[in-house]
Structure 1
Amino acid sequence: MTGTRKITLIEEVEGGWSAVDEDLGVASCGNTREEALEMLDEAVALHQGEGEPIEDAFLEELGLDPDDIDDKPLPDFMQ
């Protein structure tokens, strides 16, 4: 990706920070600005097909059944 991208940092009222890549429509959060940006970097990499896929163990840790997760691509209007 070339050129510029707009990243918005939002300080949440109840604590923590959100970071949003406005051009890609990808967001993440963290306890600090730095953590939010690091998490956003990881989310953008995954969004662009880079990095490690989400492991079943992580989904189970969140209380999700990996077999219930739909691996189909999102419709165009949701991307």
Structure 2
Amino acid sequence: MARADSGSSDTPEREIRLVKNPDGQWTARDLRVGVTAQGKSRDVALDNLDAVIEAVEGDGGRSPTDEEIRDLGADPEVAQSQSDELPDVLQ
């Protein structure tokens, strides 16, 4: 288990757990934020974890383009017009 400080005096310390999986992949988990990422190496797993944390806490991430939605096999018009309510099975 590694402990790392984010470097900013107003943010709490980050506690990160690194685990080498049986398949050779690495898993990195930020215990404060409660998110996990994987990678082929420790460095990649940590980079992926930073990207997930940025998406969750900051301005990371973006809405998918119509082309990306089509690549997933969905119609962008239908996908973007659906309500934000959870389906009954998830409520």
Please give the alpha-carbon distance, in whole angstroms, between the structure 2 residues aligned to 1:64 and 1:71.
19
Larger Rg: 2
**Secondary structure, aligned partner of 2:14:** coil
Q: 5+ residue gaps in structure 2?
A: 1-9, 85-91
Aligned pairs, number: 69
Partner Cα separation in structure 2 for residue 41 and residue 30 of structure 1: 12
Judged with a 3 Å threshold, the aligned counterparts in structure 2 of structure 1 residues 2 and 35 are, in CA distance, closer, same or farther, namely same
* SS of aligned partner of 2:12: coil
Q: 2:40 aligns to what? A: 31
* Structure 1 position 21 matched with structure 2 position 33: no
Say whether residues 1:2 and 2:14 are aligned partners. no
Instruction: For CA contacts below 8 A with separation 6 or more, give which structure has more relative contact order.
Output: 1
1:18-44 deviation per Cα after TM superposition (whole angstroms, max 9, x unaligned): 000001101100000000000000000
Gaps of 5+ in 1: 73-79
1:55 alignment counterpart: 64
CA shift for structure 1 position 51: 1.6
The TM-score with structure 1 as length reference comes to: 0.69
C-alpha displacement of 1:55:
2.1
List structure 1 segments (4+ residues) > 2 angstroms apart after TM superposition: 63-68
**How far does residue 49 in structure 1 lie from its aligned partner after superposition?**
3.3
- Over 3 Å counting, the alpha-carbon distance change for 1:40 and 1:64 in structure 2 is farther
